[in-house]
Structure 1
Amino acid sequence: MQLKHILLVASLTMTSACSSTKTVVDESLREIELYQVVQKDLNNNNYISAIATLKTMESRYPFGRYATQAQLDLIYANYKNAEPEAAKSAADRFIHLHQQHPNVDYAYYMKGLASFNQDIGLLARFLPLDMTKRDPGAARNSYNEFAQLTSRYPNSIYASDAKKHMIYLRNLLASYEIHVAHYYLTRQAYIAAANRGRYVIEKFQETPSVGDGLAVMIEAYQYLHLNALATTSLKTLQLNYPDHPSLQNNKFTSEITKATNRSWLNQHSLSPIESIPPLPPSHTEGYLMEQL
């Protein structure tokens, strides 16, 4: 790790520690005044203070005029403060309490976003890491949460962005399976490798990793002397992915498959998605701002 990276991480850690000082909320403020403080903090990116004030509102005015909106704001503030578990917990609570609320789709959306960023820790934010090699648990959760949003609320204003995330996540999960298959090849676990390759082809159709799955199957079947299966897989690869790096002059070269640390197409498909930054939930209920 380069020295400048170490210093950057250390500086950010110290900054985070200093910013975690307990926020004192004025006991004399009324509900509307507390909410005005929240909006000011959110606009100034002061999420720690906003969270403290929102929690105070929740305890003092659980059935107040701004109680429901404050719960939405708490989801957003926790997300922006890089506290994914707290954001997901707040979203789950809102969904449980307000299943018929017109902005419940926002809670589902933010829950998906929180899981999407959950496994990106402090180091991953500033150091180059290949996300296709990391534990895909959070990616699976995020995919399922976005899927809930798109299935329950297909006309939601967040559905389009959720679908973009789902495409990215599906490609990511497929690439992870290919990395596992490559590992099995290096360990000479050829049956396990072939099964992983077939799993990608069956479960992740239309992802760029399908070609890699076929290449894994060809190599595994060749080592297992299952020549008929290897030939069938090779013909499929040649027909559908003629430019795959494992094919040289239309002939399969196993060394390229072994050396491929990342899907050849995923180098393009797994670039960061262009997502619309989530708006503060107060923007979903315009009337509140006029009434402040």
Structure 2
Amino acid sequence: MSRHPLLLLWLTGLLVLGGCASQEEKILSDREYYEKAKTAMDTRNFLEAARYLEALETYHPFGRYAEQAQLDLIYAKYNSLDLPGASLAADRFIRLHPDSPHVDYAYYVKGLAAYYENVSLGQRIFPVDVSRRDPGSAREAFTLFSELVTRFPKSAYAPDARQRMQYIKNRMAAYELAAARYYIRREAFLAAAERGKYVVEHFPGTPAVPDALAIMVECYRKLGMEEQATDALAVLAGNFPNHRSLNADLSFRGGEIKPPDAACSPSSAPRPGRSDRASPRQSPSAQPEVIG
């Protein structure tokens, strides 16, 4: 019998603690969650903003702030450098609101998340030669940006997406050239020529094309494929007469085809910031921010 008062005291303590916990985890109204998230975003506390926006979605999934919260969550995740989280939030918005006038924003940020997935903060600021690195997720970013400009050609984000697509093409072409030079050093001339041909066929208009043509001339000659070498030289001389592999009379100088001095680096690409014509500095408003 003497144990019952102790048991009662223990149960009472649990109830008190439970009451305190429930008070700490009190569910707020959708407006309160949204206003707290907005305040956090205004002070650039994006982690806290994301927490409030996720709570709003959890407790008020069909409320009047739900769509705006989902849009703002993309923005908060991206600016807190949670790129996978931003991509997932963008995917969810696209799935739930395919006809939203702001769905282009979701496609844009999803592309940005892939664009910067394997790029460190230092690489964004300082010039780094990435031509020898596999473009990896940049290929996915190209596909996503391409979808954006195809679906929404007049979007405010389309010009920036096109600019990034061009940078990605330049980077992929530079990677193919780096591979071609690697094969030349190994005297695998046919493989090097094929890499050069791939650049010419798949990345026209990129700075890598003249070097690719020069590599084709060099390698075809070493392989005794004079017809192919002559054709490549004709294209090179006709379109790039001042290329460093050519003599004044447009004959081929030969020798190693070295890369140009300019490094292919993420810092030369457009990136979110003050200089961008369109960037997720602010998520678009799907509804008035304050509802009376």
When the two structures are superposed, what TM-score results if normalisation uses the length of structure 1?
Answer: 0.82
Q: Is the 8 A contact 1:85 1:114 kept in 2?
A: yes
* 1:280 alignment partner AA: Q
Query: Percent of counterpart pairs with the same letter?
Result: 40
Alpha-carbon distance change, 193 to 145 in structure 1, aligned in 2, over 3 angstroms: same
**Matched-pair contact (CA < 8 Å) for 2:164–2:269:** no
Higher RCO by CA contacts (8 Å cutoff, separation 6 or greater): 2
Q: Secondary structure at the match of 2:144?
A: helix
Contact 1:245 1:256 in 2 (8 A): no
**Structure-2 change in CA distance of 1:254 and 1:269 (3 Å):** farther
Shift in alpha-carbon separation, 1:254–1:47, aligned structure 2, 3 A: farther
Contact 1:150 1:159 in 2 (8 A): yes
Provide structure 1 residue ranges, at least 5 long, that are not aligned to the other structure: 1-24
Q: CA deviation at 1:195?
A: 0.7
Q: Distance in 2 between matches of 1:78 and 1:289?
A: 19
CA displacement at 1:26 relative to structure 2: 6.3
Report the CA distance shift for 1:268/1:38 in structure 2 as closer, same or farther (over 3 A): closer
The aligned residue for residue 141 of structure 2 is 142
Which protein has the bigger helix share?
1
Q: 1: CA distance between counterparts of 2:142 and 2:63?
A: 35
Aligned residue for 2:53? 54
Corresponding residue of 1:42: 41
Give, in whole Å, the separation in 1 of the partners of 2:239 and 2:191: 24
Moved more, 35-44 or 118-127: 118-127
Whether 2:248 is the aligned partner of 1:253: answer no
In 1, Cα distance between the equivalents of 2:187 and 2:46? 51
Q: Partners of 1:127 and 1:291 in 2: how far apart?
A: 44
1:271 corresponds, among 252, 260, 268, to 268
Q: TM-score, normalised by structure 2?
A: 0.82
The one-letter code matched in structure 1 to 2:221 is: Q
Asked if the contact 1:75–1:91 (Cα under 8 Å) also holds between the matched residues in 2, the reply is yes
Q: Work out whether residues 208 and 269 of structure 1, in 8 Å CA contact, stay in contact via their aligned partners in 2.
A: no
Q: Which amino acid aligns with 1:222?
A: R
Establish whether residue 219 from structure 1 lines up as the match of residue 221 from structure 2: no
Distance in 1 separating the partners of 2:169 and 2:29: 47
Amino acid in the other structure paired with 1:200: V
3-state secondary structure, aligned to 2:196: helix
Is the contact between residue 27 and residue 59 of structure 2 (CA under 8 Å) also seen in structure 1? no
3-state secondary structure, aligned to 1:106: helix
Q: Aligned-pair distance for 1:140?
A: 0.8
Q: Which consecutive residues of structure 2, in runs of 5 or more, have no partner in the other structure? A: 1-23
Displacement of 1:211: 0.6
8 Å CA contact 1:95, 1:104 repeated in 2: yes
RMSD of equivalent CA atoms: 2.4
Residue correspondence of structure 1 range 183-262 to structure 2 within 5 A: 183-249=182-248, 250-257=250-257, 259-260=258-259, 262=260
Note if contact 1:197-1:214 (Cα within 8 Å) is conserved in structure 2.
yes
SS in 2 for 1:201: helix
Asked if the contact 2:90–2:106 (Cα under 8 Å) also holds between the matched residues in 1, the reply is yes
Residue 109 of structure 1 deviates from its aligned partner by 0.7
Aligned mates of 2:57, 2:213 — CA distance in 1: 55
